[in-house]
Structure 1
């Protein structure tokens, strides 16, 4: 990882895609190039719809970036000391954001565009598709089973899954305005 000037020089347009989701669950965001990865974690939680209930880390090539844990056998770089511009600087550069090691949610993050720094609000979601899966539904495979159960009133787990998720769930839902309102409330 190369270290760059920590002053924001540009805006990055990134695409975040939940690996294995069909139809794809994704968000396109504009963020400053100089955000720390702990800040990016907060942005991703809001943009995707997660609730920050689980551990996370980034994989950049064979390197791990996250919250160091002395009990962990893996060498982890402290995310509070790494900036987005340290790990991606060219269009098509990408890395992985892992959330909830039990469910194993992997998000591929691709740098799509480098934009000039202007007065635009950052971070902001400019496009996206589909709802985030519910927390603790068992990863991408559990999510598939969950959808099958809630969409079929004759399914053995239909009522139980609907009750578990709070009565209703729309897998097609994506409210960009609500996400941006919540992103605007983040304080760094």
Structure 2
């Protein structure tokens, strides 16, 4: 891998597959960010809470956690042994990211641009995004659609229960980039 690519910043677009209208984020990350750290960044920018297992998928290979707590399948390679630049090296290349194997939140990560690193630039940071992330454990894409339908109809018999479950309010259109970037500054 070239020295130039190591010092580059990647502009990535992360889209939660199956959502209409789409839920997505655009972010800047160092090209040499380990996949384990990318997972932490994705949790923050998407709004997940890191309650579940995850994996990255590239070219038929799987990358995930490999530590004493979890005994993962031998076919899953240690995500901390790979950097983003090891899997994405040209614009328009893609990487899969699955979070929560039960709800199966599948994300498509596209390398949109390779930018030169600038002095003082402090990636990772989110530069744009649309719509709120679905709440944890809401049942995948189908469960999320059902949740939105229930919350849009106060006469629905499950409305009060679901409203309480999401914490009293949920705006599917809300994405607070300022809050996300404050959290990213701590990564």
- Could you state the TM-score of these two structures normalised by the residue count of structure 1? 0.93
Instruction: Please show how residues 130-169 of structure 1 align to structure 2 within 5 Å.
Output: 130-169=131-170
Instruction: Please show how residues 78-89 of structure 1 align to structure 2 within 5 Å.
Output: 78-89=78-89
For the residue of structure 1 that corresponds to 2:27, the secondary structure is strand
| 1:27 corresponds to | 25
* Aligned counterparts of 1:117 and 1:179: Cα–Cα separation in 2: 21
Which of 34-43 and 63-72 deviates more? Answer: 63-72
Q: 1:4 to 1:60 in 2, by over 3 A?
A: farther
* Aligned counterparts of 1:6 and 1:41: Cα–Cα separation in 2: 24
Structure 2 counterpart of 1:15, from 13, 27, 30: 13
* Aligned counterparts of 2:2 and 2:169: Cα–Cα separation in 1: 46
| 2:182 corresponds to | 181
| 2:118 corresponds to | 118
Instruction: Note the residue ranges of structure 2 that are not aligned, 5 or more in a row.
Output: none
* Aligned counterparts of 1:114 and 1:10: Cα–Cα separation in 2: 6
| 1:97 corresponds to | 97
1:106 and 2:144 equivalent?
Answer: no
Judge conservation of contact 2:5–2:85 (CA < 8 Å) in 1: no
1:91-110 deviations in Å (ceiling 9; x for gaps): 00001100000000001000
For the residue of structure 2 that corresponds to 1:162, the secondary structure is helix
For the residue of structure 2 that corresponds to 1:108, the secondary structure is strand
For the residue of structure 1 that corresponds to 2:155, the secondary structure is coil
For the residue of structure 1 that corresponds to 2:42, the secondary structure is helix
CA RMSD in angstroms comes to: 1.7
Q: 1:40 to 1:71 in 2, by over 3 A?
A: closer
For the residue of structure 2 that corresponds to 1:185, the secondary structure is coil
Alignment: residue pair count: 184
* Aligned counterparts of 1:4 and 1:58: Cα–Cα separation in 2: 23
CA displacement at 1:20 relative to structure 2: 0.3
| Stretches of 4+ aligned residues off by more than 2 angstroms | 3-8, 68-74
Instruction: Note the residue ranges of structure 1 that are not aligned, 5 or more in a row.
Output: none
1:57-103 deviations in Å (ceiling 9; x for gaps): 00102100001378544501100100000000000000110000000
